[in-house]
């Protein structure tokens, strides 16, 4: 059975609240889980201790059993010092899209053309 440690969403519309759960990866996001390991409240300030709460003993137990944390939970574990910080490199994230690059090139050409006659 492929185990995951992931977030299960709760809360009302536009007021998210997440439970950190250990579950079978085949179960739905908010469906059946084996154990609730903690909570995550994204509406609380980032430096608050109330934002992420985890039972570290149980989290470590599930990690020892082979459970794989999702990306977001892995970041929580890195912040808590349980896992080593993974290097993340998304080099293309900051690059503008194709259309934006075309518009920028067109603006640059237009600006260069406007400056050229004024210099003569």
Q: What is the pLDDT of residues 98-112, one digit of tens each?
A: 999 999 999 999 988
pLDDT at 119: 52
In a domain, 98, yes or no: no
58 inside domain? yes
Query: Is the pTM value of this prediction over 0.75?
Result: no
Q: What range does the domain containing 24 cover?
A: 3-80
Residue keyed to tokens 């390991």: 37
pLDDT at site 116: 74
Residue 97 lies in a domain: no
Residue 107 included in any domain: no
- Over residues 58-75, mean pLDDT: 92
Q: What CATH number does the domain containing 71 carry?
A: 3.30.1320.10
**Number of domains into which the chain is organized:** 1
CA-based nearest residue to 9, from 28, 26, 25: 28
Q: Quick one: pLDDT band at residue 117, thresholds 50, 70, 90?
A: low
Q: Is residue 62 part of a domain?
A: yes
Q: Report yes or no on 111 lying in a domain.
A: no
The answer to whether residue 63 is domain-embedded is: yes
Element (H, E) at 11: strand 3-12
């Amino acid at each position: 059975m492929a185990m995951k440690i992931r977030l299960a969403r709760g809360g009302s519309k536009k007021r998210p609240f997440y439970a950190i759960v250990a579950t079978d990866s085949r179960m739905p996001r908010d469906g059946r889980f084996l154990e609730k390991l903690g909570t995550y409240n994204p509406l609380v300030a980032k430096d608050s201790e109330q934002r992420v709460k985890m039972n570290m003993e149980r989290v470590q137990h599930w990690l020892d059993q082979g459970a794989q944390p999702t990306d977001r939970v892995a970041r929580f574990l890195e912040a808590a010092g349980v896992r080593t910080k993974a290097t993340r490199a998304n080099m293309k994230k900051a690059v503008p899209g194709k259309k934006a690059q075309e518009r920028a090139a067109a603006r640059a050409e237009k600006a260069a053309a406007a400056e050229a006659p004024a210099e003569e």
